[in-house]
A and B are shown apart, each in its own frame.
Chain A
Amino acid sequence: MDSKVTKFDKNMSAVTFAEAGEFDTATEFLQEEETEVAAAKISAVRKKPLGGMVIFGAISLAGYIALMTHQGWVSENYTTGGWHAAYPVVTALIFSFVHGAFASNLLSVLGLEAKKH
């Protein structure tokens, strides 16, 4: 609501200046508004996924801590061979999803995005 009022106010001010013959000031009012809209658009597109990074990062970190504190159990059960082959393969896949999502968000938060063509 606020923004609409200001938009209206600004337009009216611009009109007033235009009528008074001060075209430069009038365009200044209008331009100011334009840049504000553009800035709002950019920030909407490039909203940084901080939440995602923190959540996935926390899950990933918890996973690594669990792995390191249960090394004995892991080493025992993951290397018996046979159908236990599924253990390391599935674990690697799950970690790659969680940690991969964290890494992806981390890069976005750091402002590293692919070039848009």
Chain B
Amino acid sequence: MKRLLFIILGALLILPMVNSAYAGGPPPKDVMKGTFLSVDDTARTAVFQKVGSKETQELILGGDMTPSDVRVNKKVMVSLDKHAGENVIKSIDIMFLDMTLKRIIALLVIGLIGGLLSGFIGSGGAFVLTPAMMSLGVPGAIAVASNMCHKFPKAMVGAYKRYKYGQADIKLGLVMAVTAIIGVQIGIVIQKYILNHFGNAGSNLYVSFIFMVVLVFVGGYVLYDAYKLAKGGDEAKVSRLALRMQKINLPPMMHFKVAKVTISAWITIPVGLLTGMLAATIAVGGFIGVPGMIYVVGASAVVASATELIIAFIMGAWGSIQWGLSGLIDIRLTLLILAGSLIGVQLGALGTTYVKDYMIKLVMASTMLIVAVSRGAKIPGYLADLNLRPALEPQMAHTLSQVSFWALVTALASAGLIITVAMVRGMAQAKAETRGAEVISHG
């Protein structure tokens, strides 16, 4: 069994050299970083200097751009429109926003609640952090990269805390992470296929559709399970599916000490692969990884959510290096989110020691279902892009995008609220119990 672990660890170390995994999709290719030195209003051209190069080049403004869109002497990201010809600018994004007090406070608060959720259910935060940063005006690629770079140290701190509480199964985490990294590769291949055949809108529709189906189906089941447990009031039992899976005696068998599970590697591998594929598609692998570990492998919700943090750490670290190589991480954003989320993640982790298993499932289910609403609101727009339905009226489009964003905020806020209430209650109960115990021992 030890040998197997070494093989897996070896594979983990070698894999990055042979292949490259990008959790959350690969960094964009047709993007140049640099500064505009001057702009010619009449010729609609601008002189651009790439980062790290002395030479300049002349770029042509795209059809729907005005010369005022070009900000001179500011570090920008320029994406080119390859279909419109050579050196035609598609869009310009300012790489580094000025940090206003409002932005700083927003980042601290989102970080704190995102961290709380992450420490409690093993994943979360990412699905709202990236859109939230984008709504503050951060370019998409930078938002994804900075979020990724904040995710892995946060997951590391959370995993360490929960390992200390005896909740994290390191071996299960490693096995899942390795298979998930392979799953990411498969996910990217599928994504590329869809992008090539159905274009950007098709890809968006695919992502939203998968997101919706997975979240509604899995989230609904987790909610049903949590409801049953809360009503029955008893401890969580291992699911029937997991018990059946554990009976399959197909070598190599693996034993996971903390999760208290012995199961064939042929069962854990598909769960890991799916986690990775989902991570590459919707950037939140934990939404399938945690339920997978609970209902298919047979770990408890506490162990599964703790183990997910190990997976998030490994995958996040690898993703951060990839995004770092393309120089897209805004470390200021990363560190500001970390300031709040490192407190949140530890608070969430210690919260799990006070609550019953179903509470973790309840928080996970409600988050997944509200996030599903957010994604669902985007589908009509993508359908219109593919000409599968008439174009949306501007009013309607605006409403839908508002619904989408506020659903994310609601998901985060409600999860934060449930965790806080459950934790305060659990702590009060624990205090009352110790007091009772003291009275008995003294009396």
Interface residues of A (CB under 8 A from B): 31, 34-35, 60, 64, 67-68, 71, 74-76, 78-82, 84-89, 91-93, 95-96, 99-100, 103-104, 106-107, 112-115, 117
Contacts and interface: CB of A to CB of B under 8 A. Distances in A.
A31 B442 contact: yes
Interface of B: 33, 51-52, 75, 95-96, 99, 149-150, 152-154, 156-157, 161, 165, 317, 320-321, 323-332, 334-335, 338-339, 342-343, 346-347, 349-350, 353-354, 426-427, 430, 442
Contact of A67 (B75, B332, B347, B350): B332
Contacts of A78: 327, 329, 331
B331 A114 contact: no
A88 B430 contact: no
A89 B334 CA distance: 10
Contacts of B321: 85, 89
B332 A68 contact: yes
Contact of B330 (A68, A75, A112): A75
A99 B343 CA distance: 8
Output the residue of A74, A86, A103, A104 with the most chain B CB within 10 A.
A103
Contact of B320 (A34, A68, A89, A103): A89
A87 B95 CA distance: 17
Contacts of B157: 96, 100, 103
20 contacts: A34-B442, A67-B331, A71-B96, A78-B327, A79-B33, A80-B327, A82-B327, A86-B324, A88-B329, A89-B320, A92-B152, A92-B153, A92-B338, A93-B156, A95-B338, A96-B156, A99-B338, A103-B342, A107-B346, A115-B430
A71 B325 contact: no
Given A31-B442, A92-B338, A99-B339, A71 B99 contact: yes
Contact of B335 (A35, A64, A114): A64
Given A74-B331, A80-B52, A92-B149, A112 B347 contact: yes
Nearest to A75: B96
Given A80-B51, A85-B321, A89-B320, 7 more contacts: A64-B339, A71-B332, A74-B331, A75-B96, A88-B149, A92-B153, A92-B334
Contacts of B317: 89
B439 to A, nearest CB: 12
B258 to A, nearest CB: 14
Contacts of B320: 88-89, 92
A57 to B, nearest CB: 11
A32 B81 CA distance: 82
Contacts of B329: 78-79, 85, 88
Contacts of A84: 324, 327
A91 B430 CA distance: 39
Contacts of B339: 60, 64, 99
B116 to A, nearest CB: 12
B317 to A, nearest CB: 8
A106 B335 contact: no
Given A96-B156, A114-B165, A115-B353, A81 B327 contact: yes
B41 to A, nearest CB: 28
A99 B323 CA distance: 23
Contacts of A106: 343
Output the residue of A67, A95, A113, A117 with the most chain B CB within 10 A.
A95
A113 B350 contact: yes
A24 to B, nearest CB: 15
A100 B346 contact: yes
A88 B334 contact: yes
Output the residue of A93, A104, A115 with the most chain B CB within 10 A.
A115
A59 B157 CA distance: 18
A112 B343 CA distance: 12
